[in-house]
């Protein structure tokens, strides 16, 4: 506690603060805002400005001359365009798979399972969230390795596992972010009032119809909220791709591979996921998903 | 919704499959740490505890674990202070730009880690290095704290929204000083939210790899960095297996603690 002159400095300061709410607010906000704006936004701003710089091709030194060459290259180089499209497709596929897998699980934990067992089931969904990201990717590296569990399970059918590559990447990312989709869906489904479902049944709707016309519209904002995580986490990932992706390149890998030799180009490439994620957020804002985050 | 028998069975099967998909890989990691073979072929030829004792004496693992703990504690401490200050400002005051603050605090985890990573890396490089401060544990802590703030903020702000400021006002009307009201009324109300936030922040920092990659100095290796470095080395495979298994087992602790802490917030509890 900062001291002031007087017999009870702390008490006097408290009295001063009590009379002056603006001063209290300023004291509360100064440190965290300095940290977040100067340190974080400042760094980001420098990074984005550096996307307009170039690199000396001989020395790899950054040349601070304004140019839009990097963005020009980004838009015209076929490889870059391919990787961007592939990354967006992977992020969308992972999101769709997560939603597809999460819905029955969440429906079970929220509405079908015996109510007393529900908190335990939610904890069971939460536990893998705490398990290390790397360990989970490692688990899939083991499963998909040559002669691993996937090969062993598919052998009786005369098939082999997918090995390392693009399918492995989609599979692993789906596994990683699945709980982020199950949890919001569980919460939304648990909050659907029984009365609505009864009313729908009383009016003659079969379960399928009730699901489509009553349940689905009510949980859609939560699914959209979950998709923010599944989408943006997949889009930025480069570690999983390095571990199980084989030769697959996503936008994160492209950024990573440019950092040492061409930081301005890496910065320009880094704006792509940021722009895509902002566009995605704007697109789903209408569902009300952002209020559910 | 009154579901038919078939629908119920179908849902139960789908849920069971879902849980199997979630837990089989984790179980495999546990089992694999007992695999006497160095390769990860399936099924394992037998079981052994040998690698566990090898891993326990591995100096690289011990050192990395210690670095991770220091980074986590440092980042959590900073995040607790900054996140709590922000939460009080946002929950108890109306001011211009309040929504922007809530957005700003989420940004470090909403944007891809690699973007945050290179941004901090280049900022540290251009600002700190001329001052003679190179990348090291300190920069890792600063980087981690930046994205840990949000979990403390979220927990505390949610708690403050549920408990109106009228308690503090009542205490002050009854003659308590601002400080007294904080110590006796406000702090006990937010204590468990602070604990939950700290727990989450520590776990987030402990698990972080991307931002760490770009903010760690040459001699600083956290546990995730160690795992990543050694994952593709066949000679280290058994030790990596054991470390991975330990991390899976440890993940039960925060879930248990979080359940306890949220039980503390239930309406029937003391608070």
Chain A CB contacts of B86 under 8 Å are: 28-29, 32-33
- Tell me, what's the pLDDT at B264? 46
Question: pLDDT higher for A220 or B171?
Answer: A220
User: Are the beta carbons of B1 and A201 separated by less than 8 Å?
Assistant: yes
How far is it, in rounded angstroms, from Cα B9 to Cα B4? 9
- Min CA distance, A277 vs chain B (Å)? 8
Which of B25, B68, B96, B145 is the best mutation test for A, with the most CBs of A within 10 A?
A: B25
| CA contacts within 13 A on the Cβ side of B3 | 15
Contact B253, B261 (CB under 8 A): no
CB–CB of B41 and A148 under 8 A?
Answer: yes
For B19, the enclosing helix (H) or strand (E) is helix B5-32
Site of tokens 């969230």: A129
Query: What does the pLDDT average to over A238-243?
Result: 95
Instruction: Dihedral sign for Cα A194, A196, A202, A205, please.
Output: negative
**pLDDT surpassing 80 at residue A97:** yes
What local confidence, expressed as pLDDT, does residue B116 receive? 93
Task: Tell me how far apart the alpha carbons of residues A145 and B37 are, in angstroms, rounded to a whole number.
Answer: 14
Tally of helices (H runs) and strands (E runs) in chain A: 15, 2
Per-residue model confidence (pLDDT) at position B270? 28
A245 close contact with B: CB closer than 8 A: no
Which of B1, B106, B107 is the closest to A197 by Cβ?
B1
Is some CB atom of chain A closer than 8 A to the CB atom of B133?
Answer: no
Q: Which residue, among B3, B51, B23, B39, has the nearest Cα to B246 in the 3D structure? A: B51
Q: Provide the pLDDT for residue A207.
A: 80
What are the residue ranges of helices labelled H in B93-112?
A: 98-110
Q: What is the pLDDT of residues A18-68, one digit of tens each?
A: 778 888 899 999 999 999 999 999 999 989 898 998 887 777 777 788 888
Annotate A206-233 with b (16+ C-beta within 10 A) or e (fewer): ebeebbeebbeeebbbbbbbbbbbbbbb
A63: β partners: A54
Which pLDDT value is given to residue B76?
97
Tell me the shortest Cα–Cα distance from B46 to chain A, in angstroms. 15
Residue closest to B188 by CA, chosen among B212, B171, B208, B210: B171
Rounded alpha-carbon distances, angstroms, from residue A158 to A140, A216, A292, B170? 21, 39, 46, 74
| Contacts by residues B19-23 (CB-CB < 8 Å, ≥ 24 positions apart) | B19/A105, B19/A124, B21/A101, B21/A175, B21/A178, B22/A124, B22/A125, B22/A128, B22/A175, B22/A178, B22/A179, B23/A128
The stretch A156-164 carries a mean pLDDT of 87
Chain B: give the shortest CA distance to residue A66, in Å.
Answer: 18
Which A positions 248-287 lie with beta carbon below 8 A of chain B?
252, 255-256, 259, 263, 266-267, 270, 273-274, 277
CB A232 within 8 A of CB A280: yes
Amino acid B271: pLDDT = 26
B208 by DSSP, 3-state: which?
coil
Tell if the CB–CB gap between A123 and B255 is shorter than 8 Å.
yes
Q: How far is CA B182 from CA A165, A230, B65, B261, in A?
A: 56, 40, 37, 21
CA nearest to A185, candidates A242, A265, A100, A270: A100
Query: Measured between CA atoms, how close is B40 to chain A, in angstroms?
Result: 6
Q: In angstroms, what separates the C-alpha of B99 from chain A's closest C-alpha?
A: 12
CB of A17 within 8 Å of a chain B CB? The answer is: yes
B chain contacts of residue A274, beta-carbon cutoff 8 Å:
111-112, 115
Q: Does A85 touch chain B (CB under 8 A)?
A: no
Looking at residue A99, its pLDDT comes to 95
DSSP state for residue A237 in the 8-state scheme? -
Q: Picking from A2-6, A108-112, A235-239, A269-273, which range would have the lowest pLDDT averaged per residue?
A: A2-6
Within a 10 A sphere around the Cβ of A268, how many other Cβ atoms?
A: 26
Task: Return averaged pLDDT per consecutive 10 residues of chain B, 271 residues in all.
Answer: 78 90 91 81 78 86 94 97 94 86 85 91 84 87 95 90 78 77 84 90 93 90 94 86 91 80 44 26
Of B110, B114, B209, the CB nearest to A134: B209
Nearest CA in chain B to A260: B118
* Cα radius of gyration (chain A): 25
**Inter-chain CB pairs, A–B, below 8 Å:** 250
Contacts of B40 in chain A (CB under 8 A): 141-142, 145, 148
pLDDT over 70, % of chain A: 95
CA A103 to chain centre: 18
Q: Any idea which residue has 């400080």 for tokens?
A: B179
H-run or E-run covering A181 = helix A166-191
Q: Which two tokens stand for residue B184?
A: 């006796």
Point out which residues pair with A54 in neighbouring strands.
A63
The predicted pLDDT at position A5 comes to 47
By C-alpha distance, the chain B residue nearest A209 is B1
- How far out from the chain centre does Cα B30 lie? 22
Residue A244 touches chain B, beta carbons under 8 Å:
no
Identify the pLDDT of residue A7: 60
pLDDT given for residue A288 in this prediction: 64
Residue A12 in contact with partner chain B when CB distance is under 8 A: no
Q: Please indicate if any CB of chain A lies within 8 Å of the CB of B101.
A: yes
Question: What does DSSP say about strands A62-63 and A54-55: parallel, antiparallel, or unpaired?
Answer: antiparallel
- List of chain B residues whose C-beta atoms are within 8 Å of the C-beta of residue A10: 179
The tokens of A231 are what? 């989408």
- Distance in angstroms (rounded) separating the CA atoms of residues B159 and B151: 12
User: Does the beta-carbon distance from B115 to A44 stay under 8 Å?
Assistant: yes
pLDDT of the residue at A273: 92
How much is the average pLDDT of A184-201? 89
- Chain A partners within 8 Å of B247 (Cβ): 131-132, 135
Say yes or no to pLDDT of A290 above 70. no
Strand partners, A55: A62
The Cα A241–Cα A93 span in angstroms is 15
Distance CA B81, CA B180 (A): 20
Separation CA A262–CA B161 (nearest Å): 47
pLDDT at A45: 92
Q: What is the pLDDT of residue B77?
A: 97
């Amino acid at each position: 506690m900062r001291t002031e002159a007087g017999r009870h400095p702390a008490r006097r300061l408290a009295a001063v603060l009590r009379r002056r709410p603006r001063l209290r607010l300023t004291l509360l906000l100064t440190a965290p805002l300095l940290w977040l704006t100067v340190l974080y936004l400042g760094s980001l701003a420098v990074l984005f400005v550096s996307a307009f710089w170039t690199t000396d091709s001989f020395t790899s030194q950054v040349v601070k001359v304004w140019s839009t060459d990097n963005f020009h290259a980004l838009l015209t180089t076929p490889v870059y365009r391919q990787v961007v499209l592939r990354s967006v497709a992977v992020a969308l596929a992972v999101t769709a798979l997560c939603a597809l897998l999460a819905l029955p699980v969440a429906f079970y934990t929220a509405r079908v399972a015996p109510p007393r067992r529900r908190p335990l089931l939610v904890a069971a969904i939460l536990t893998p969230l705490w398990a290390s990201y790397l360990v989970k990717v490692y688990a899939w590296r083991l499963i998909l390795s040559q002669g691993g569990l996937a090969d062993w399970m598919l052998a009786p059918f005369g098939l082999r596992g997918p090995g390392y590559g693009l399918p492995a990447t989609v599979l692993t990312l789906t596994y990683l972010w699945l709980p982020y989709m199950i949890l919001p869906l569980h919460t939304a489904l648990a909050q659907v009032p029984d009365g609505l479902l009864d009313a729908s049944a009383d009016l003659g709707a079969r379960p399928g119809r009730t699901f489509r016309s009553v349940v689905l519209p009510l949980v859609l904002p939560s699914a959209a909220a979950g998709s923010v995580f599944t989408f943006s986490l997949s889009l930025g990932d480069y570690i999983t791709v390095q571990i199980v992706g084989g030769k697959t390149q996503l936008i994160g890998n492209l950024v990573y591979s440019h950092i040492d030799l061409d930081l301005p180009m890496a910065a320009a490439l880094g704006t792509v996921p940021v722009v895509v994620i902002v566009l995605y957020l704007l697109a789903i804002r209408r569902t009300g998903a952002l209020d559910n985050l | 919704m009154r579901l038919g028998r078939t629908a119920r069975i179908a849902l139960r099967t789908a849920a069971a499959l879902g849980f199997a998909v979630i837990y089989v890989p984790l179980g495999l990691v546990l089992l694999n740490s007992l695999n006497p073979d160095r390769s990860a072929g399936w099924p394992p030829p037998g079981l052994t505890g040998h690698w566990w004792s090898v891993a326990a004496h591995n100096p690289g693992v011990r050192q990395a674990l210690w670095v991770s703990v220091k980074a986590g504690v440092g980042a959590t401490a900073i995040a607790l202070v900054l996140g709590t200050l922000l939460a009080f400002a946002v929950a108890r005051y109306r001011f211009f730009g309040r929504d922007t603050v809530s957005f700003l605090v989420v940004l470090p985890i909403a944007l891809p880690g690699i973007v945050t990573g290179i941004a901090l890396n280049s900022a540290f490089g251009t600002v700190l290095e001329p001052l003679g401060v190179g990348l090291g544990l300190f920069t890792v802590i600063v980087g981690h704290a930046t994205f840990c703030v949000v979990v403390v903020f979220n927990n505390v702000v949610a708690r403050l929204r549920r408990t109106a400021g009228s308690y503090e006002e009542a205490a002050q009307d009854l003659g308590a000083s601002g400080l007294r009201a904080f110590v006796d009324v406000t702090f006990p109300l937010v204590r468990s939210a602070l604990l939950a936030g700290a727990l989450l922040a520590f776990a987030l920092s402990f698990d972080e790899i991307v931002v760490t990659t770009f903010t760690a100095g040459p001699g600083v290796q956290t546990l995730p960095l160690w795992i990543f470095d050694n994952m593709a080395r066949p000679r280290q495979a058994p030790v990596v297996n054991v470390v991975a298994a330990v991390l899976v087992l440890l993940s039960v602790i925060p879930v248990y603690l979080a359940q306890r802490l949220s039980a503390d917030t239930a309406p029937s509890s003391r608070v």
